[in-house]
Structure formats: structure tokens, C-alpha cells
Amino acid sequence: MTLKSILLASLASAGLVAADGLNARAQAAGKKYFGTEISTTVMADSSANNIAKNSQDFGQVTCENEMKFDATEPSRGVFSYTNADKIVAQAQASGQIMRCHALVWHSQVPTWLKNGGFDNATMISIMKNHIANVVGHYKGKCYAWDVVNEALNEDGSYRTTDSVWYSAIGPAYIPIAFAAAAAADPAAKLYYNDYNIEKSGSKATGVQNLVKLVKSYGAPIHGVGMQAHLTTGQVGAASQYVSNMQAYVNLGVEVAYTELDIQTPSSSPNFAQQATDFATMVSACKQVSACVGITTWGFTDKYTWISNSYPLIWDTSLQKKAAYNAILNAWSGTAASTTTSSAAAATSTAASGGGSGCTAAKYVQCGGQGYTGCTNCVAGTTCQATNNYYSQCV
């Protein structure tokens, strides 16, 4: 930190200058957060960690690996929370909310599980026990959970033989996981999370079908997380992201970009185009009222998971790149983009026939901060608040 930034930070915390940053601008635009993934490796680098802890830039945190199955249940029935607890404690001390990630995934499962040869009933009980323990441990501390991660192939069909869960349980593992998470923390927003689902196409349609599947079993699902691992120069126009989000939102879920990074080769990076592409994704989220926020998968090129690439907002020397100001400006917008934003919100309401002019089905959202969909509940159900952000027909 420079002397100037220390001084500004102190003045900001004393309320003497206006606070500003990626998260401050996102919240001023009506979003819940702009956030980042971090790891215990980043926490051990104090210069990087000082950036991570600044809630003006990051109002939300996701653990890179620390909450995954292999980290939290390395041996059957033996749970380990030391590293994830460190991240959660720092986030809480810094005034940052947690998106918790991830409960049921085909990857990063421990050997005892992968090679266990367990039958259907045993796999269901292992999955339920894992969810009850992990979600129970963090009850009240996770704004959202990624309950099921990457269950789909690129053509929108379910991953079958490469998933230990599907192999033993079949597609029922998905609603069973959501029901178990809801039982363990009824206030957490429960998300399905995947990549290559940011634009319409077979896989995005597969996600819509998955949301319907979960609901058809009577289990709750509150959000679709679009990972958004993108490539500089291939992002294109915001409108295609907006319309794809609307298709999810029309099913009664909120949406978020959960792992945004925009790769550009370290051998010949194009940071100007990258800045434009980050701004496009911010603009897309800004135009959809049910897009609650954006999480980047790390914030500095020093710790990206992508080899030979500079996909993030701070460079390898922890200096801000062009993307930083582009994101600020995209959130703060202009009169023209504010108009677009409210027009898009109105379109969203009209497209879903929102407000009191339509009826939400059982287990579908019917209210909550920022919600613009149907507020009447189907006969035999009433609209009940789960938390400030979510009411459901039950």
C-alpha cells in the first residue's frame, strides 16, 4: 500500500471521503456484491491479501478449494474445516459475505469415494451426510451454496459415467442434494453452477431442464451460477448474455456470474480488449435485476488457475489493470445505460408476466428484495419469506 492509499482508506473508514471500489459501485447499482475467489495461498501473501480484504472492492468471497469434498471430508465421516474456516473468519471480519462452493461435483472427490464401489442407497447416504455436516457447519454464514456443480455435458445431457454421483444414483442425485442442503440451512440460497452456460445454446437449455427437474421433485433451487470463464475478444455483445439470463430468471431463480475471468495469453496480452470485455459482463448483469452479483475467480494474475494467461484485474505485481476502471465505469454507468437498465427490468417483468398479474407455482419464488416475477401463489400455497431476498410459494 502507498501512503496515499493508506490515508484514503483511513479517511474512507472514518467516513470522511466517499468510499469507492468495484463492490461499492456494484452496490450503488443495486447489486448485492462484487466479489472474488480467494485461497489460503493468497491469504499467506500479505500484499495480495490486503487487496482481497478490502470490502470497497470485494463484498463477497468464495473459497477456491477449501470447501470442496476432498478438502472437507478427506476420509469417510471425518470432516476438516481448518482452511475454509480461516477464509470465512477473514471474510466476516472484513464485512464480506460468503458464496460457499461446492457440495456435489464429479471432480475433486476423495479416493475413498471415487473408488468405493458404493451402491445407490449408500451413495445417497454419503451425499446426505456430507451435505448435512458441511452446510450445517457453515449454517447462517453462507449467503449462497453451490449445491451441484457441473452436472452437464456440453450438449446439455447429464454427465453419466464420469460422475460418481450419477453412476450410482442417476439424475435423482441432483434434487436429493438440493433437498438435503435446504434442510441443513433453510436460509441459504441454493445454486446450480456450471460453465459455458452464459449464452443460449444446448447446455444453457440443459440448465433450464435441470432447474425444472429439481422443482419437479419438490426440492428448492434459488439460483443459477454462470461461471463465466471467458476469452478476451470472444465475449461479444451484452444483449446475448441478458437474454440468456432472462430465460433462467423466468423459471423463478436468481442468477450470478460466479467465477468470472477473461483469459488473454501472457505472451501477447490484449488488456484494452479485456477491459472492454469485463465491462460487457458488468453491463449484462446490471441490466438484469435478478443478477445479484459478480464473483471473479481470483483478482490478480499472480494467482490465476489458468496457465500462460493474464485473465484478471490486478497484474502479477498487484497493480490495477485497465479492467479495473472499466468495471468501475460499467457499474456507475451513464444516463443512457440507466435507461437501458430499467427498460430491461421492465421487459423482464413483462416477459415473465411478473408482479400480481401472474401466478407462481409451488416452490417457486414469489417475493424478496429485487424480485420482479410473479407475486401470487398457486392455489393451496402461500407466499412465505425464507429471508430478505427470497420468498417462496409453499
Ligand X SMILES: *[C@@H]1O[C@H](CO)[C@@H](O)[C@H](O)[C@H]1NC(C)=O
- Give me the least distance between CB of 166 and ligand X, in Å please: 9
Rank residues 125 and 342 by Cβ distance to ligand X and give the closer one: 125
Query: Do the Cβ atoms of 309 and 265 come closer than 8 Å?
Result: yes
As measured in angstroms, the least distance from the Cβ of 145 to ligand X is 22
Q: C-alpha cell of 270?
A: 490484449
Shortest reach from residue 120's CB to ligand X, in Å: 4
Q: What does the DSSP assignment read for 39-57?
A: -HHHHTSHHHHHHHT-TTT
Cell of 254: 436468481
Shortest Å, Cβ 210 to ligand X: 16
Pick 170 or 353: Cβ nearer ligand X: 170
- Nearest CB to ligand X, comparing residues 95 and 170: 170
Kindly state the smallest distance separating residue 130's Cβ from ligand X, in Å: 17
Which of residues 42 and 213 has its CB atom nearest to ligand X in the complex?
213
- Grid coordinates representing 22 are 468495484
Q: Residues binding ligand X: what is the number (CB under 6 A)?
A: 4
CB of 147 vs ligand X, minimal distance in Å: 17
Sign of the torsion formed by the C-alpha atoms of 104, 26, 140 and 363: negative
Helices (H), the chain: 3-13, 22-28, 40-43, 46-52, 69-72, 82-93, 111-114, 120-137, 164-169, 173-184, 202-216, 238-249, 271-286, 322-332, 335-351
254 in active site: no
123 versus 242: smaller Cβ distance to ligand X: 123
Q: How far is CA 14 from CA 9, 11, 43, 60, 277, in A?
A: 8, 5, 25, 22, 35
Residue 34's DSSP bridge partners are 294
Nearer to ligand X, 169 or 313 (CB): 169
Q: Is 217 helix (H, G, I), strand (E, B) or coil?
A: coil
Burial class (CB within 10 angstroms; exposed 0-12, middle 13-18, buried 19+) of 344: buried
Q: Does the annotation count 259 as an active-site position?
A: yes
The CA distances from residue 264 to 230, 278, 294, in Å, are 9, 12, 20
Q: Exposed (0-12), middle (13-18) or buried (19+): which is 40, by Cβ within 10 Å? A: middle
- With respect to ligand X, which residue has the nearer C-beta, 118 or 257? 118
In the window 152-191, what residues touch ligand X (CB under 6 A)? 169-170, 172
Strand partners, 260: 296
Could you say which of 37, 64, 73, 150 is catalytic? 150
Binding-residue pattern over the window 316 to 355 for ligand X, x denoting contact by CB under 6 A: ----------------------------------------
Shortest spacing between CB 102 and ligand X, in angstroms: 22
120 near ligand X, rule: CB under 6 A: yes
Residue 219 touching ligand X (CB under 6 A): no
Binding site for ligand X (CB under 6 A): 120, 169-170, 172
Catalytic residues: 150, 259
